[in-house]
Amino acid sequence: MREKIILLSALIVLGAAAVILILKQPDARFDGERISDQDSFALRFDRMNGSDSETIGFQKGDMLHVSWQIENGSVDIVIGQENEDPVYQANDRPAGDKADFFVMIPQTGSYTITVSAQKAKGKISFLKTSNE
């Protein structure tokens, strides 16, 4: 009988520990659509927690068309080359925020576009426009 009580107590403790670990895990998921190719990167998301990125090659003077519409949560955006200051950065874009603009690319190279979101819903797109 004593062994059954010890076993039952151990199972209860393990079960409680498992529940705590599950509840402490961040809700890192993406429900939506991701589209990318050599000239564009777009996300449409009903739920996004975490980060996604894409690298696009540019020539000096190219333009990047950026647009977004954030419905819920918050979103951070960073566009830049590795080991360089970003050419564009927006932090904590809140629900209701909309934008549509161009970023000029200052030098030839590969630029990484990173979108980080917290409990976000919305859409965001980046489209390379050549200077030719």
Q: Is residue 6 part of a domain?
A: no
Query: For the chain, how many structural domains are there in total?
Result: 1
pTM as predicted: 0.78
Q: Is residue 114 part of a domain?
A: yes
122 by Cβ neighbours in 10 Å (0-12 / 13-18 / 19+) ranks as buried
pLDDT at res. 129: 92
Which CATH number goes with the domain that contains 89?
2.60.120.380
pLDDT at 4 over 80: no
pLDDT at 23 over 50: no
Average pLDDT, the chain: 88
Structure tokens at 44: 């449409």
pLDDT tens-digit map of 29-77: 899 999 999 999 999 999 999 999 999 999 999 999 999 999 999 999 9
Q: How far apart are CA 94 and CA 109, in angstroms?
A: 31
Residue holding tokens 């990318």?
Answer: 36
pLDDT tens-digit map of 74-129: 999 999 999 999 999 999 999 999 999 999 999 999 999 999 999 999 999 999 99
